[in-house]
A and B are shown apart, each in its own frame.
Chain A
Amino acid sequence: MLIEIDDLSVTFGKGRDAVRAVREVSFAVDARESFGLVGESGSGKSTILRAICGMVPVTGGMIRIDGVPLPKRRSKAFSRRIQMVFQDPYASLHPKRSVDATLAEPLAIHGIKGRDERVVQAMRDVGLDPRFRFRFPHQLSGGQRQRVVIARALMLEPEILLLDEPTSALDASVQAEVLNLLSRIREERNLTYLMVSHDLAVIDHMCDRLAVMKDGRVVEQLGRSALASGDVREDYTRTLFTASAHEVAE
């Protein structure tokens, strides 16, 4: 397994005020697999992605990549393998940095040459016209911004993408474009996706397997076919499924 999450716990605060955001969660994602985490707000799904990136303290359990436990501080080598795409493209882009500066930064940090070609190529890969290269985030639409964020995540040619609600800030029509882009990129580059969403239909469209989360725990793991046939074990999964019922294909 490429990503192994073993008994992971994340607790914020101490004593009486402690919030146990993630409680003893275990799952594993194979190389080139696309795995989804679905749940409502506060269920801990995004916290798991942040824990993998070292953005929140891990208070229990273990995260392994290729069988190797992650070091306390995430190294440069880590960011070459794993990159994250955040929910709100406006908040995750520097407002005073042009597309060019945003995309070139990872190259500079990692001492990669060929800035010009790489930036232009990255923009083409995500379907952005290279004429937008010197624009700022506020001069782009929401969909274009999310393309910039995806391009930035791809600059270092990682093998794993962590996707945190990558389309929930977008209009439905733009969501379709971005989901198509993510599917195409995964196909072309043999990427592994770990994707978080509150939208069961989006997860079903994008992922082979999924875990349903509630109150920091994984309540059920299931495959795509089980979901499509409504073959679920847990009541909570069923509730979620019913609430998304208008999204079920006829």
Chain B
Amino acid sequence: MSLLDVENLRVAFDTEAGAVEAVRGVSFAVDRERVAIVGESGSGKSVTGRSILRLVRPPGRVTAKTLRFDGQDLLSLSERKMRAIRGQHIAMVMQDPKFALNPVMSIGDQMTEGLRRREGMGRRAATAKTIEMLRAVQIRDGERVMRAYPHEMSGGMGQRVMIAMMLIPDPDLLIADEPTSALDVTVQAEVLAILDDLVKERGMGLIFISHDLRLVSRFCDRVLVMYLGKIVERLDARDLEAAQHPYTRGLLNCLPSIGGDRKPLPVLDRDAAWAE
């Protein structure tokens, strides 16, 4: 049994035009390893991540044959028990710190909120622990950062704060949904390195959701490629160049490269059969 077992996960949204299935029968397992879910917008990768935390709200409907984390059936847990899992055992880093952090709360208040409320820690102890966590994501002047508000921080700084915040309760599984897509390339590399170190050090499981196939291949152990709500290919990251599925190959080839030949870039010739 793995840390997380997902079998035949389906997510449907009722719309005026009838039900739309965003995720159509996805199965995978995650242990204490780094697994990437890759696909284009609309492939269902983010919804897959959110449904693990039961963050898909009605009219969205989530069904699965199995959705088990650490031996517990996530779909049948009460909302209260689920709350105990969110953050504590499974944490999620969102794409854009600008939208995911509370704009009217200081960084310090949002970071210590969980410690103080859930663990009943005193202000001083919570602050000390938070500063330690900020140091782990390479923020040296933690005290100043804790007094700041989200709008006073750059994107890279905000994303590091969010990662630190998610790691405070020492979760077993971290879901990172495009954690570096809103960041500049040079900052991207830094944030990835930090995330990588922390995951390794703590022996967490990581689900890394991204649209960037090349990026995840450098960073993850395994890659699941999603297309229109289905997993079309599973690969070890190091075997990426040997990908078989035409969709994966298309995603790999359509990126321009420095010093390339400047011929028209290969475009995806989508085959209706991939979706079946």
Contacts and interface: CB of A to CB of B under 8 A. Distances in A.
Interface stretch (A10-18, A110-118, A168-176): A168-176
Interface in B181-238: 184-189, 211-215, 218
B117 interface: no
A188 B10 CA distance: 47
B73 to A, nearest CB: 35
Interface residues of B, number: 31
Contact of A40 (B184, B250, B267): B184
B258 A201 contact: yes
A204 B259 CA distance: 7
19 contacts: A171-B40, A171-B41, A172-B251, A173-B250, A173-B267, A173-B268, A174-B40, A175-B255, A176-B265, A176-B266, A176-B267, A183-B262, A199-B185, A200-B258, A204-B256, A240-B186, A243-B185, A249-B258, A249-B261
B256 A177 contact: no
A63 B41 CA distance: 39
Given A172-B255, A204-B258, A227-B258, A243 B41 contact: no
B254 A176 contact: yes
Interface of B: 40-41, 155, 184-189, 211-215, 218, 250-251, 254-262, 264-268
A75 interface: no
A228 B259 contact: yes
B137 to A, nearest CB: 18
A177 B40 CA distance: 14
A209 interface: no
Contacts of B254: 172-173, 175-176
Contacts of A7: none
A202 B264 CA distance: 12
B68 to A, nearest CB: 32
B211 to A, nearest CB: 6
Interface string A235-250: 0000111011011110
Q: Kindly name the residue among A41, A204, A205, A249 whose own CB sees the greatest number of chain B CB atoms within 10 A.
A: A205
A176 B211 contact: no
A142 interface: yes
A198 interface: yes
Contacts of A243: 185-186, 188-189
Contact of B211 (A171, A200, A239, A244): A171
Given A204-B259, A249-B259, A179 B188 contact: no
A240 B41 contact: no
Given A175-B254, A244-B258, 15 more contacts: A40-B186, A40-B187, A171-B41, A172-B254, A174-B40, A176-B255, A176-B266, A183-B264, A201-B258, A204-B258, A204-B260, A229-B259, A240-B185, A243-B189, A247-B214
A162 to B, nearest CB: 20
A177 B269 CA distance: 11
B211 A172 contact: yes
A180 interface: yes
A243 B259 CA distance: 15
The 8 A-B pairs with the shortest beta carbon distances in the complex, nearest first, are A228-B259, A205-B256, A176-B254, A176-B265, A40-B184, A249-B257, A243-B185, A171-B40
Contacts of B257: 201, 204-205, 247-249
Given A172-B251, A176-B265, A179-B265, A248 B259 contact: yes
Given A243-B186, A243-B188, A177 B267 contact: yes
A198 B184 contact: yes
B157 to A, nearest CB: 13
B255 A201 contact: yes
Contacts of A179: 256, 265
A204 to B, nearest CB: 5
A77 B254 CA distance: 38
Given A204-B260, A249-B257, A180 B265 contact: yes
B259 A227 contact: yes
Contacts of B218: 246
